[in-house]
Amino acid sequence: MTALGSWVWDCDHYQGRGEKTEFHPFRALWVARHPGGLSPTSPSGEAEGDLYVSTEATPAGREAQCAHETKGSDQFKSCSHTTADWVSVNGSYDLSLCLPQHRAPGNFRLVDRGSVNAPPLRFFPGNDGCGDLRFTVSAPAGRRVVIAKQLYWAVRRPPALDRLRLRFDTLLVRRAMDPSCPPGQPDCAARNESTLPGQIATAPGEWQLMWSVDGIWGRWPGTLAAKDGSTFRGGQTVDFTVPRGGSWTLVALARECDFGALPGWDGPGRPTLPCPRSNEVGNALGDDYPGAITVVHHGAALGRHVVDASTAGSTCPPSNVHGCYALTYTVSRVR
């Protein structure tokens, strides 16, 4: 991934030994999926590059601009809510995409995914198996520009491929991470729910689940009202392509919302998306993190799979030896 943005010290995230640095905001992203390999989204064997460029400042960009203008004065808040939602992305871009080694290049195609006022893009295939995507943005101040493109570059005589479909069957929540022990009562009856003490939170937990199927990202729809032992039925499917006999990955990341009582960017009564409004205030370290699932499959891995989440790096108490949740999914071939 190649990223372009405003690289800042974010003083609102003091870490005890200094501030955290971050892109605040990003202006452009270029993602080469499976660099030097074939894309999981192409059924015919193509390399893929995904491009996103936007002049939309987002709240992060508006805050950064007002930080420059107000220099820490009490005008910062009003400025950040009224300044223009625009940043410049003007300039010349040259981005690279490569085919797998020892594969002869074929045709290429550009797929638009919702661009607005986008300049023309040109792709220059090279004889060495790498090509360059080039374009120039020259927009007047205030003009909205969005470049959302997928570049697919085919190989001649692609390897044998497996077109697969993963269906999410069920999500089992073993520990909802709510209710939590309130301030001053670390040994309350709910101490096995979370390692983050001092939360003001009641059942159910408000769960969000994100997933990646070999680099294709998505999320379980909506907010899940989870209690200990809750089972949620899935139904989402993801189609993807892998070289026959090759490896592919499944990643799942869960989050339990703990700050529904605090206002987000949009003001009182509107917490930070996608978390819902509630009466909860969590630990200052952040939302509960139920843990991650990371599985590497070798070959098609057809059939039904049940995988436990890891407790490593999570706020799931280690006494939950099988993790705070489990995911069941089924892999089949797409005919």
Domains of the chain and any CATH numbers: 2-159 (no CATH), 162-333 (2.60.40.150)
Distance from the first to the final alpha carbon of the chain: 32
297 Cβ contact partners less than 8 Å away, ≥ 6 residues apart: 247, 248, 249, 250, 331
| Interval 18-27 mean pLDDT | 83
* pLDDT score for 187: 84
* pLDDT score for 15: 67
Q: Which two tokens stand for residue 154?
A: 């085919």
Range from 184-193, 222-231, 248-257, 326-335 carrying the lowest mean pLDDT: 184-193
* pLDDT score for 14: 65
| Interval 214-240 mean pLDDT | 96
* pLDDT score for 80: 87
| Interval 301-313 mean pLDDT | 97
Please name the residue ranges forming H helices in 71-224.
Answer: 76-82
Rg for the chain, CA atoms, rounded: 23
Give residue for tokens 């729910």.
193
Check: pTM over 0.85? Answer yes or no: yes
DSSP 16-55: SSSEEEEEEEEEEEEEEESTTS--TT-TT-EEEEEEEEE-
Q: Look up residue 269 and give its amino acid.
A: G
| Interval 77-97 mean pLDDT | 94
